[in-house]
Chains A and B, each alone.
Chain A
Amino acid sequence: GAGVSQSPRYKVTKRGQDVALRCDPISGHVSLYWYRQALGQGPEFLTYFNYEAQQDKSGLPNDRFSAERPEGSISTLTIQRTEQRDSAMYRCASSLDRVWTQYFGPGTRLLVL
Chain B
Amino acid sequence: DQQVKQNSPSLSVQEGRISILNCDYTNSMFDYFLWYKKYPAEGPTFLISISSIKDKNEDGRFTVFLNKSAKHLSLHIVPSQPGDSAVYFCAASPFNNTDKLIFGTGTRLQVFP
Contacts and interface: CB of A to CB of B under 8 A. Distances in A.
Interface string B75-113: 000000000000001010100011111111110000000
Contact of B104 (A33, A35, A42, A55): A42
A62 interface: no
B99 A43 contact: no
A84 B12 CA distance: 35
Nearest to B98: A99
B70 interface: no
B43 A107 contact: yes
B45 A104 contact: yes
A35 B100 CA distance: 10
Contacts of A98: 98-99
B103 A44 contact: yes
B103 A31 contact: no
A42 B5 CA distance: 10
Interface of A: 4, 31, 33, 35, 40-45, 48, 50, 55-56, 59, 91, 93, 98-99, 101-107
